A and B are shown apart, each in its own frame.
Chain A
Amino acid sequence: MREEKAVQKQEEQLVVFQLGSETYGVDIAIVREIIRMQSITPVPRTPDFVEGVINLRGRVIPVIDLHKRFELPCGDETNDTRIIVVEVGEITVGMIVDSVSEVLRIASESIDPPPPVISSGVNTAYLRGVGKLEDRLIILLDLQKILHEEEHKELEESLKQVVATEEE
């Protein structure tokens, strides 16, 4: 047991994807699948970054655009555009990314805590750290935070606003 843990600690497996000019990674354990871009049904009265919902084999799943989420310039949809479906706790969400490049292992010791500022402008509160692999930098997202805390607040805020305007 202890040995296993040690191995896990030493290495992490990541799904690596491209968002604008930066390379990001998420823990492979929460990735359910990676699908091609498909037609998305927009849902009114939701935050801007919620693109809408898709049909994932009979389940209706919300899709968010990570560009909008992180206030990055929006890239055009290409043949490489993918939706990464992640499952965090009870929540299943699709995330639109520019491309998915690979799955790789990275040694835990080469993951640094997030620096105070990152050039791309992603709020460092959403980051778990920065992985260094040879000459590349991989930004590790903390989806727990992105989906649960912050975004939930934002969603609730926007819903409250709608309700408030209704009550007026």
Chain B
Amino acid sequence: MSFSLLSVTFKALCRRWIASLLLVAVAAAGTVSAFVLNGLISRQEEALENTKKNTVISCVVTDYSGSSSGNLSMLSAFVEMLTGKRRERDCFLDDYVKNVRAMAGTPLLSPENHALRRILSIDSDPLLDPINGVSVEFYEGYSEEVLQGREMVCIVAPDMVTENGYIIVSPDENTEAEIKIVGILNGGPTGIIYCPFFMPFEEEISVAFYVNTCSFDIKDNTKLKESKDYIYEFFVVPDVMNKNDGLTFGVLVQDETYHKSLGEINSNLTMLRIMLPVLMIICGCIGFFAGFLMTKGRIREFATMRCIGMKKMQIFFLVIGELLFLAAFGMLLGGGIGFIIEGNLSPKAISDSAIITAVYIIGTAIAALRIVRINIMKLSNKEE
């Protein structure tokens, strides 16, 4: 009996193929919606995290007022703080900043008409910007990292390379140092000898000097506020009202675009988060009404079933069975499409799609219940 009933039901489903297809499509649409809507948020969140991680937020050290970022006349101790050389004095700025770029110029008595520039990296001096057609070639065994150390080495223009590979410099009458040439500046400025920022003229003797320019990047953008707070314990927010005591320097954090972009994306995420349940409810409602209306339209069919002796509950379960079959098929189909679109099967999407399908089945069940509860005579009358 039950087998023949299932067979009849299946035949009926096939015969009403358009209606069956639409019901499958409605169930599939609900599942796809759940997948897509859940994917929107996770995709956006993941991309946002990557952006936060990868975006470079530059900070420029300026004078107290912010009017100048060149010729700062800032003591080199500030750069020591930024590069973690003052941790023993409870300054942990290097925990919050990275890629410190600093340049300090020292006039030289000898060679005549030459200057020494202390740099922490090649990009510490705008004159070495590739836009100027400059390229730096380090000798074997040396790299840009040497500029962060204290070795007595230098980079010079090709015409300054000496036979013994050393150059003698003299910043004042009492000091003379022999510096090893470890690289060549091609297409760069002439008359400038570039050396490691912290290079002493005599070994084991640290010197303090004035820094011309300094900039750095934020180490961890997710801790931007914390980083800024800590930076401003040592520097100030540039303002003409600041005290010009020669020891006050500003830091301008160039995070305006970053904040603006992040603000937009965060508002978008918030919108999606609030919108998601609303859209889920709408999808559920659509499923409910679709199921209800499709089932309600089969009243003639149910009347015939009752006339040939089928019980109310039998018809009810038959309808639910049909719908479960179509819904399951639709859910699988929708899940497949959702997986193709989103590329993953998130548990949240699966549970949401199950809820939408359940709402859809409830709609069908209510319609079926309403129909089967009607008196057989009324059903017949309706048929007439």
Do A and B actually bind? no
Give me the interface of B with A, judged by CB distance under 8 Å. none
